[in-house]
Amino acid sequence: MNEPGVNEPGVNEPGGTRLGVTEDDAVSGGIDPRQSRSQALRHAVAAFSQAGIDGGASDARFLLLHVLGITPTELALSGAEPIGEQGALRLGEAMLRRLAGEPVARILGEWEFWGLPFILNAATLVPRPDTETVVDAALALHTTRDRPLRLLDLGTGSGCILVSLLGEWKQAFGVGLDRSHEALACARTNARINGVGRRAAFVAGDWCSALGKPFDVVLSNPPYIASAIISTLSREVRCHDPLGALDGGEDGLEAYRRIVREVSGATDGRPLLTPDGALVFEVGHDQAEDVLRIGREAGFARGSVRQDLAGHARVVTLAGHPPTANDDRR
């Protein structure tokens, strides 16, 4: 999961809209069907700005394009056309949801990651740009793109990490594991629509359970928010992201400990990594050293950290685990 902000006020708390923005401002009564598409866009931008929504102009544009089913180029060419009754109604409904604190990606039901479209549902996190650092780190492990690698994505969610990598490694095969059948259904659809469905399998399970043959790369963006912090997250996160993808236990490191233990073979003596395989984690901005330590204590000889675009330590890669007594890796 990606690190949401803490102590950020929600756009709207129960009991009404903020800063005098009423429902009438958001439904079609506030957007005249005779207004042009460009005027409707300005109306939405103004409403979001008045409500104090960061990135309101971008949000308004996403919503207008979505409800009209058009591209940015088409909007530029048709901005003078009336939005129409259905367009006004649908945009008003979408605005009302956004004013109530629902993230744009949830309203759209899809989001872009690594330049690819991914559908979402209530069981999946919204793919965030920071998580693309996981894809970058994995690709750096094997620069030759035609190797028949085996990939494992633990807690796959929407499948965005696995599907993106399969799109880059054309001969690779991947397994995505998740406890949620709803999330797995979403991931399967995303693999199919992005053209990698025949090279992906999605399995219900709890972390590394019921997995056999070892993998060249194991990836995970696990829950890493400490339990006590959950209540301080922004309302958009608290109310719209699945709790199981956020809560990392008392210190936020519970999932890392378990995954490292199971991947290294400490549980049954059978590592889930090939001898030259690597484990790639997304981590919270202040967790890299802790995860490196967990890896060292489990026997991983090498560890590295990769920063995201904001300069935060975002990805930890562990490699060089020695053989175990029952190790039959090939």
pLDDT band at 83, cuts 50/70/90? very high
What pairing do the DSSP bridges indicate for beta strands 173-178 and 200-204? parallel
pLDDT band at 329, cuts 50/70/90? low
Stated pTM of the model: 0.88
| 244 annotated as belonging to a binding site for a ligand | no
| 158 annotated as belonging to a binding site for a ligand | yes
**CA 219 to each of CA 46, 147, 246, 264: distance values in angstroms, whole numbers, following the listed order:** 42, 17, 17, 13
Of the two residues 270 and 248, the one the predictor is more confident about is 248
Domains annotated for the chain, with CATH where assigned, are 23-99 (1.10.8), 121-319 (3.40.50.150)
For residue 178, report the phi and psi dihedrals to the nearest 5 degrees.
-155, 150
| 157 annotated as belonging to a binding site for a ligand | yes
E strands present in the chain: 110-113, 116-119, 150-154, 173-178, 200-204, 215-220, 273-282, 302-307, 313-319
| 114 annotated as belonging to a binding site for a ligand | no
Distance CA 261, CA 218 (A): 13
| 144 annotated as belonging to a binding site for a ligand | no
| 207 annotated as belonging to a binding site for a ligand | yes
**CA 290 to each of CA 251, 296, 297: distance values in angstroms, whole numbers, following the listed order:** 10, 10, 11
| 221 annotated as belonging to a binding site for a ligand | yes
Q: Which of 25-39, 121-135, 291-305 has the lowest mean pLDDT?
A: 25-39
What pairing do the DSSP bridges indicate for beta strands 173-178 and 273-282? unpaired
Residue 320 is given by DSSP the state -
pLDDT for 29-70, tens place per residue? 478 999 999 999 999 999 999 999 999 999 999 999 999 999
Q: Extract the tokens encoding 300.
A: 């991983």
Torsion, Cα 227 229 233 235, to 10 degrees, reads: 60
Q: Which of 6-10, 17-21, 26-30, 280-284 has the lowest mean pLDDT?
A: 6-10
